Amino acid sequence: MTSGMPPKAGGLVRAGDRGFAPLPEKKLQELWFASLRKPWHTLALVPAQNGRSILPLAQALAAMGRFHRGSTLRVVSAEGMGLDEIADFALSASESHMRNEGGRILVLEPISVNPFGTAIALTADAAILCLEYGLSTLDEARQTLDQIGRERFVGAAVLQPKVRD
């Protein structure tokens, strides 16, 4: 019997393992439910600035999604992809959606680093803008929103840098 509540922190939130401070469980839930503002099969996580990978955040959201949806969400990293790989990826994303396969969370690089990421973001049904506190600038955030289209974004995550011991 499940209680309807996610497991306690440590079970879901592992974003701190690879560079970011752990998201508080409540914040992760809020981000997950913000992502549901519109229906999506594919959700893109788009960082506004070059910095740490947002893969740990995608993995934490996928875990939250598994709990909430009761089905597996696949995390797909498009970090470091070139033009040929992006073209193949965009085609497979379209085919996957047509076959009604399980949902996917895409991890992108900032468009300032890899402009081809815009093509991948445009294959997603929804996007979340990822900002790193103290590093992201308003200009970078605006450029990302404008390049991909503000209407695609369902929320934003402001990530705290991990405090070094």
Six-digit token string for 55: 């893969």
Output the pLDDT for position 23: 52
* C-alpha of 147 from chain center: 17
CATH topology of domain 25-159: Rossmann fold (3.40.50)
Rg of the chain, C-alpha, whole Å: 15
Give domain limits for the chain. Answer: 25-159
Average pLDDT over the chain reads 79
pTM, two decimal places: 0.77
Query: Tens of pLDDT along 80-137?
Result: 777 677 667 666 655 555 455 568 999 999 988 888 888 888 889 999 999 998 888 8
Output the pLDDT for position 66: 83
